[in-house]
Structure 1
Amino acid sequence: MPIIYRKYEPPQTSVPPATAAGDENAAASRDAPRETAERDLTAIRQLISQDLSEPYGIYVYRYFIYQWPHLCFLALDTGVRTSPASSSTEPTTAEKSPADAGTQTQEDNLVGVVVCKLASHRGVKLRGYIAMLAVATTYRGRGIATKLVRLAIDCMIEDGAEEIVLETEVDNESAIRLYERMGFIRSKRMHRYYMNASDAFRLVLPVKVESTIRYCVLANELDTSPHNGGDGEAGASSGAGGMYI
């Protein structure tokens, strides 16, 4: 089925002038965007939590998605899907009204998501961070994770990122291959990083010349040159918590 990619679009929180002037539906109009945002967040959380090696509270998702909504990219299946609660068929994205088409909710078939942040960090003016990445099990192996990561990287670089980092479990070879093909370098091994006691590699994508030189030296010292083989999509994990993509 056709897959579309787009940024997460937070609902508008402003109330239309006519409604704000005293319309009896003012309260409902104010609450609707928040309710939509919660539905979106629930769908994202359900997808990501399927393969987490450690649990996240709702506030972790809100922290990333509400502060950096433009760094959250979604992969949506635009084909017809059947609601698990009934035998009725949901309309495709194309069949929805224009008002609904720009908002991602649980009615859409969310099959992939990447969640990132961009902030200063210890002398680095702007460091991008891939916090969460997940693809639904039946959609793995189609390059969806790679596409989502590339969209996020391009956006962070456009916003001025000097480097981009993430963590993944050391035994998740498919994830490591995926990221190393994209230019990431293993910069650090963190012992018992996850709640399941697994170690993690911190992977860094240098963007500025200074960062590139620094991390190339690290890579040579650690003998962590990229490896070949596989497309890294079938069972790769990435980001905090070891999500599987």
Structure 2
Amino acid sequence: MNDDLLITTINDLPYYQFDINNQLEFKQISQLISIHLSEPYSIYVYWYFLNNWPNYCFIVKDPKNYSIIGVIISKIELHRNVRYRGYIGMLVIDPTYRKQGIAKNLVKLTIEKMEKDDLVDEIMLETEVSNIGALKLYESFGFLRTKRLFRYYLNTHDAFRLILPLSNKAHSRYAFLPLHPKELERQKLELNQN
């Protein structure tokens, strides 16, 4: 266990950033997700998120046996060259540890990091229409239902796309937005190298 990756302790539960070099953590995360999420994910999906955005994977461990009891996996990307969009891909809490605020704390950590470190303009996710607990959780942070995605999941259930607007850009149409400052800087660097 790498205590350098300890972010905080809340109600005696330690919250860590995922350790990309720890195969046991990867295995525990993939098991937790495959057991408790209705959507089956390939191991490549985990690797895609965890290798590209390890700083956006937070885990909670049981302090007695150090097993992972909760995880949130997210990413950030430039969306249409005009805004940075955070995306929450997976959030899972072991059922025996639910109703302790762990999911709320993981979402809060993710939102705060995305706002502070990457100045994201919005955060997006999908959740099943029937998952009332998840909808209440995300809507308590200000996420808005923006679209119903029919038969979105492999089990043929519908999903809601939820978006948390964090900047004025999140309320504007893409056609009227200037390039994001990070994209402008990248293009300037590219021009200077040529």
Three-state SS of the structure 2 residue aligned to 1:155 is helix
For residue 38 of structure 1, the aligned residue among 23, 30, 55 is 23
One-letter code aligned to 1:151: L
**CA displacement at 1:2 relative to structure 2:** 2.3
Query: Offset at 1:125?
Result: 2.5
Which structure would you say has the larger RCO, counting Cα contacts within 8 Å and 6 or more residues apart?
1
1:67 — aligned with what? 52
SS at match of 2:137: helix
Q: What CA RMSD, in Å, does the superposition of the two structures yield over aligned residues?
A: 1.5
Letter of the structure 1 residue corresponding to residue 152 of structure 2: Y
Give the alignment of 1:96-245 within 5 angstroms. 108-158=66-116, 159-212=118-171
Q: In structure 2, how many angstroms separate the alpha carbons of the residues matched to 1:201 and 1:126? A: 21
- The unaligned stretches of length 5 or more in structure 1 are 12-36, 82-107, 215-245
Counterpart residue number, 1:8: 18
Secondary structure in 2 matching 1:114: strand
Question: Do residues 52 (structure 1) and 37 (structure 2) align?
Answer: yes
Paired amino acid for 1:39 = L
User: 1:50, CA displacement in angstroms?
Assistant: 1.4
- How many Å apart are 1:38 and its aligned residue? 2.7
Q: Distance in 2 between matches of 1:57 and 1:116?
A: 16
Shift of residue 7 of structure 1? 1.0
Taking structure 2 as the reference length, what is the TM-score of the superposition?
0.79
Counterparts in 2 of 1:213 and 1:180: CA distance versus 1, 3 Å: farther
Instruction: Say whether the 8 Å CA contact 2:37–2:92 is kept in structure 1.
Output: no
- The alpha-carbon deviation at position 39 of structure 1 amounts to 2.1
Pair member with larger Rg:
1
Higher helix share: 2
Alpha-carbon spacing, 1:141–1:177, altered in 2? closer, same or farther (3 Å): same
Identity %: 46
CA distance in 1, matches of 2:35, 2:82: 33
Is the contact made by 1:124 and 1:162 (CA closer than 8 Å) also made in structure 2?
no
Counterparts of 1:124 and 1:141 in 2: how far apart (Å)? 38
What is the TM-score of this pair, normalised by structure 1? 0.63
Deviations 1:115-173 (A, max 9, x none): 00000122443110000100011000000000001101111111121100000001111
Structure 1: how far apart are the matches of 2:172 and 2:140?
18
**How far apart, in 1, do the equivalents of 2:82 and 2:90 lie?**
21
Is the Cα contact below 8 Å between 2:74 and 2:86 reproduced in 1? Answer: yes
Q: After superposition, where does 1:87-102 map in structure 2 within 5 Å?
A: none
Gaps of 5+ in 2: 1-10, 174-194
Change in CA separation of 1:160 and 1:38 when aligned onto 2, cut-off 3 Å: same
Paired AA for residue 74 in structure 2: C
